[in-house]
Amino acid sequence: MFEEATVYSPVIRQENGTVSVIFAREHPGFEDADYQRHRARIAELALTYQLGDPVPEVEYTAEEVDLWRQVVADLQEKHRRYAAPEFLDGSRRLDIPTDRLPQLREVSGRLRTLTGFHFTPAAGIVGLRDFYGSLNESRFQATQYIRHCSMPYFSPEPDMMHEVIGHGNALANDRLAALYRRVGRAASRASSRKALEVLSQVFWFTLEYGLVLSDGEPKVYGASLLSSVGELEQFRSAAEVRPLDVTAMVQQSYTVQNFQPVLFCAESFDQLEAFYDEFLSSIEAGEPVLTGS
């Protein structure tokens, strides 16, 4: 679906202070000068942000607002069919606007009153220890840009639809928010880069792409899957679904530019919580569990 070079668009600041976002040739925004300038302006807002300041507001284009309306309406229909009860609870509580593109500051304020989590802006990809460690502070570092309008239903980059619709709704549920916070605590105590990489791999196959049985059917609680209209439509028929297993997750390769061929499903949310408690305790102890659970 995407070449690997399109996955992340690095943000750089030139010697003269100018901020640029570097797009690979295969990226849908590569030849769109207006989109490139727009992304650079949004990136600069994040780069100049200081913790404790209000989240800066972004001036979105009319095309981006229309895209938000279109994609969110499609996602909500898919969520009613495929999302886990915990995610749907968070979605009802957060009540993100669908008729307009909300500001990250606005959603963050709503979220803070519900579970104590809040958003801070990120220019792009954040380092492992920084990103996961911030979860321990009930803080989620989120991008504020929107995917290119030519590709509305899937983005390998974490844009506002991914951050707000996927992670925001999850973080509005108490049980899911507790898992994110627990991940953050373990990351803050992890003693090695290897432990963080193992944690990141398990996070990917659970809080990004995880399934849980509900009334005998696999339902989605993972934020990446829940923010992809295209992948939600075919995950049950296109992916191999396996039980929770840390070793299998760590050994399973994945690419962010394609639909996932392997997904992992918990038997219940109780099992997911127990699985995470054992795994994260091992991360904190410096000896990650690499056996089935």
Catalytic residue, from 167, 228, 231, 282: name it. 167
Residue type, 106: E
Active site residue 208: yes
CB 256 within 8 A of CB 156: yes
Catalytic residue, from 227, 228, 231, 282: name it. 227
Active site residue 227: yes
Catalytic residue, from 155, 208, 231, 282: name it. 208
Catalytic residue, from 38, 118, 148, 162: name it. 162
Active site residue 253: no
Residue with the two structure tokens 């003693």? 191
Distances in Å between the alpha carbon of 32 and those of 23, 29, 35, 176? 10, 5, 5, 38
Q: Is 120 helix (H, G, I), strand (E, B) or coil?
A: strand
Structure token digits, residue 27: 């990226």
Q: Is 261 helix (H, G, I), strand (E, B) or coil?
A: coil
Active site residue 27: no
Q: Is the dihedral of CA 175, 219, 273, 125 positive or negative?
A: negative
Active site residues: 162, 167, 208, 227
